[in-house]
Chains A and B, each alone.
Chain A
Amino acid sequence: MNRRINFVAALFLLLFILITLRLFYWQVLSFEQLGGLAEKQRSVTLSIPASRGRIYSSDGTPLVLNQRSFGVVLEPQKVQDKEAVFSVLSKELNMPTASISAKLTDETKVWVPIAHKIDEPVIERIKGYKLKGIDFIEESKRYYPEASMAAHILGFVGKNAKGEDQGYFGIEGYYDEQLRGRDGILREEADARGNPILASDQKSIPAENGRDLILYIDKTVQFIVENKLKQGIDKYKAKGGTAVVLDPVTGGIIADASFPSYDPGTYYKFPSEFYKNPAVSSSYEPGSTFKVLVMAAALNEGKLKPDVKFNEEGPVEIGDYTIKTWNQKYHGEITLTQILEYSSNVGMVFVEKNLDKNIFLQYLENFGLGHATNVDLQEEIYPEMRQENKWHEIDYATASFGQGVAVTPLQMVRAVAAIANSGKLMVPHVVKSINFPDGRSVQIKPQAERVIFKPEVAKAVTEMMVSAVNNGEVRFAKPAGYRIAGKTGTAQIPIAGHYDTEKTIASFVGFAPADSPKFVMLITLTEPSASQWGSETAAPIFFDIAKELFSYYSISPSD
């Protein structure tokens, strides 16, 4: 009997020791591992995605919004019918079956991303097939209510090397840090069904949404400019064209259009050379439009007055070179105003000779040549100025009529805007204000870079430009009753050390109404083949747009 009792006691003791050891193993030795597993089971960590800032036009209507989209992922271990999955995804995502199957080479992976930023209706269709192994991750993508309008200003959102959204070009690129915001994290305990347990500790870092941007871009003006420029490019059979409209007082860019262009929503379908904004990333020789700036410099130095006479009797010899007028017509004694009216190259050489060489170069610097305008667009470049010791007599002469110097369209239009703005050179800007998610708003104040002309000089040159429009080659295209200050330009394109005689960049720069300018506008056409002259191509486009803008801004005729 005792033996049995002792046996049972020993058995119990053994079991007790085993249970104690097991408990010791679980509670002491495996504490961290099991604790981690338990934590993982009951706690949930969620990423709270920050939404990218939106972009609005000057009237507060949206140019860029966010739209819900989805990433499509495959879970190889759950896929049952590979052929059906490939076929459905290929059909719905418009992807070759081979490229989908190529992504599925490693079947040990838990999930494999197949496509990103897919619209909801497509996702609903895929869900309708009820195939196992296809999953979806919520994402966000850009939505453009105005479609491809202002594409070069806006830029687009693509992926960076880490697979994160990143803005490229234009505003999206320049203000990427402001727009992208910061994702938040929420860590909480959940019950068996995944519902949060409120009594438990909750740790959260709230998401900080991106900041919204309000632009100077006026969508009505942008629409007018894009349509008219496109029609002009087709009409004059040009390879491309650019139009920039500035507010001379603030330096705000009201419209900026270039063709060829692209659709920022489907940027990947367009050649990458279309992405850069030609207004800030291409350079050209401004030709005769530059004459107004050199003329203003000469008047500003007090060396000449608008009524000074010059004898335009024939070509001018400078070293081995001969400078002629564009049409080889010479008008005898003419005033400085008539030099602009006739767009006389030899007349401009006379003007330039009245300026000291170092002062002439100082003015080029003052116009902003050789420097970035510091516009808030990512891809801005600026053509380098020739070194001072490399300027020869002929270079000064040709620069006086805009050949041998290079500018970006934005550099050119802002320098002319200084004439419209009483001589003040403004820093051009696209963004007017930044709105923070907490309701604060930061206004970006207009910034004057320097004063380059005296107000009376700006006024005098304005009158000369009005006269150039009223009495020059473009007088027939000008809308009646309005005082428009402007100047045509036809610059030959330098190719392999010489100028191409056929290919030109035709341009027109001007502002209106001349007495109280509401806008300054530059039109450039690349290689128009219907006519190579700025007066017959770019100027009519300028006036077409100006007519619409007069109506839009309710500007009455003043003549």
Chain B
Amino acid sequence: MSKHKIRISMILIVLLVVFATVQVLILNRYSTIGDRLSTLSETIDKIEEENNRLGQKIASASSMTTISAKAKEIGLSETSVPISLNSPMRIAQKLELSL
């Protein structure tokens, strides 16, 4: 067997060992990372739920019934008749007055 062939064989063997080791390490890591994934999933669920709850609180706090009740509490009352400070005039009439 020539020297060249032996070298190639050696390199291939080393690569094989390296890849096999990496695969074992990765598999090992993937196999044991599940608990972290579970924790993360639970955290995501909790945050989403909290987000939902806050969304509901905001929606309730800004609901018409709540706002109306609060407005009454602080003494605001409904305007029974709309008030217009200026009666609308035709543009021609406005021009006539300004001249």
Contacts and interface: CB of A to CB of B under 8 A. Distances in A.
Partners in one complex: yes
B84 interface: yes
B2 interface: no
A68 B48 CA distance: 11
Interface stretch (A143-151, A160-168, A373-381, A415-423): A143-151
Interface string B26-48: 11001101110110000000000
B56 A145 contact: yes
A65 interface: yes
B82 A145 contact: no
B21 to A, nearest CB: 16
B60 interface: yes
A89 to B, nearest CB: 25
A197 B30 contact: yes
A195 interface: yes
Given A65-B56, A190-B34, A199-B30, A146 B82 contact: no
B31 to A, nearest CB: 5
B63 A145 contact: yes
A147 B59 contact: no
B34 A191 contact: yes
B80 interface: yes
A222 B82 CA distance: 19
Nearest to A149: B64
Interface in B1-40: 26-27, 30-31, 33-35, 37-38
Nearest to A190: B34
A223 B64 contact: yes
A65 B58 CA distance: 12
Interface in A530-550: 547-548, 550
A199 B31 contact: yes
A67 interface: yes
A67 B59 CA distance: 12
Interface string A165-209: 000000000000000000000000011011111110000000000
Contacts of B35: 193, 195
B82 to A, nearest CB: 5
Contacts of B68: 223
B65 interface: yes
B31 A146 contact: no
Contacts of A481: 84, 87
Contacts of B31: 191, 197-199
Contacts of A68: 49, 52
Contacts of A66: 52
Given A149-B65, A547-B80, A557 B88 contact: yes
Contacts of A145: 56, 59-60, 62-63
A146 B38 contact: no
A149 B63 CA distance: 10
Nearest to B55: A65
Contact of A67 (B37, B52, B82, B84): B52
Contacts of B64: 146, 149, 219-220, 222-223
B93 interface: no
B99 to A, nearest CB: 24
A443 B26 CA distance: 49
A146 B65 CA distance: 7
B59 A556 contact: no
22 contacts: A61-B62, A65-B55, A67-B52, A67-B56, A143-B59, A146-B63, A149-B65, A191-B31, A194-B38, A196-B37, A198-B33, A198-B34, A199-B27, A199-B31, A220-B64, A222-B64, A223-B64, A223-B65, A547-B82, A551-B79, A556-B82, A558-B88
Interface of B: 26-27, 30-31, 33-35, 37-38, 49, 52, 55-56, 59-60, 62-65, 68, 78-82, 84, 87-88
7 smallest beta-carbon distances between A and B, as pairs: A145-B59, A195-B34, A199-B30, A223-B64, A198-B30, A195-B35, A196-B34
Given A62-B55, A145-B56, A199-B31, 7 more contacts: A65-B52, A68-B49, A196-B34, A197-B31, A548-B78, A556-B84, A557-B87
